[in-house]
Amino acid sequence: MKKQKKICVIIFLFLSILLFGGCNYMELKGNAKVTFIACGSADITLIEYQNHYSLIDTGEDTCRENVISYLENENIDKFDFMILTHPDKDHIGNAEAILKMWDVDTIYMTNYQKNSSIEKELLLYIEDNDIHYEILENRKNIRMEELEFIIDPPKQEYDSSNNSSLVVTMKANNISFFFGADIKKKRIEEILASDMKEATIMKLPYHGRYISNIKQLLEKLNPEFVIITSDINDEKTEGILNNLNIHYTYTEENVMIITDGKVWERE
């Protein structure tokens, strides 16, 4: 009898791994909230779940007052992590200001260095204040409670900060998010050749500016909804989205997505 039970347990675990990918899809205990904060043509995304917080990029200093005000109103104690996809000013512009106001457990960065003054000052502040950071050269899987984040650096060296961006996928049970940073044609080719799965919500790369193979990326990821982090439209990109019947919006104001891991809604 004990032997039969053991065999049944082994079979159950094996089938669970096949069907659900092990622990990749975990039931959420509540709602996760993803907010794309309005900052012109710049990226800053706040993720909130069960009193845990993280940031993907920090926007540009031109919208610092609005960014800091929004974060303060969320009553954040600290951030579990901050992902800085690449060192352009429209992605790291408020990083140092945020670090001066909130503790951040870990910062994840790409291995591309632009050597700009804003990047140098940020790295100096991080090192002077003993803030833990990791420069990623290989895929990194991290969790924020039941939320799973997969951070993909480029598979090769590029001579541009945009194609050197970290690409982030967030899984909230059955709802997934794709954050494309500022990747362009060559980096998109990497993703097209990869085993990356479909995404429910997609932050369009490069602030929605037209990229020659963006249609193929949209077809591969097959998103239900696209966020364009810009207040300026690109007619060629819009034409592709319209032809594919994909709903989209710009961040002329904050865009908030709430999900319980089964369905999602725009707040």
Q: pLDDT tens digits, residue range 99-142?
A: 999 999 999 999 999 999 999 999 999 999 999 999 999 999 99
Domain boundaries, the chain: 26-266
Question: Tokens 């982090």 label which residue?
Answer: 229
The pTM score is 0.91
Query: pLDDT per residue over 211-234, tens digit each?
Result: 999 999 999 999 999 999 999 999
Cα 65-69-75 angle, rounded to 5 deg: 155
Q: CATH code for 26-266?
A: 3.60.15.10
Q: What is the spatial distance between Cα 127 and Cα 79, in angstroms, rounded to a whole number? A: 18
What are φ and ψ of residue 134, in 5° steps?
A: -130, 130
Helix, strand and coil content of the chain, in percent to the nearest 5, comes to 30, 30, 40
Question: What pLDDT is attached to residue 114?
Answer: 95
Mean pLDDT of all residues belonging to the chain: 93
Provide DSSP, 11-77.
HHHHHHHHHHTTTTS---SS-EEEEE---SS---EEEEETTEEEEE----GGGHHHHHHHHHHTT--
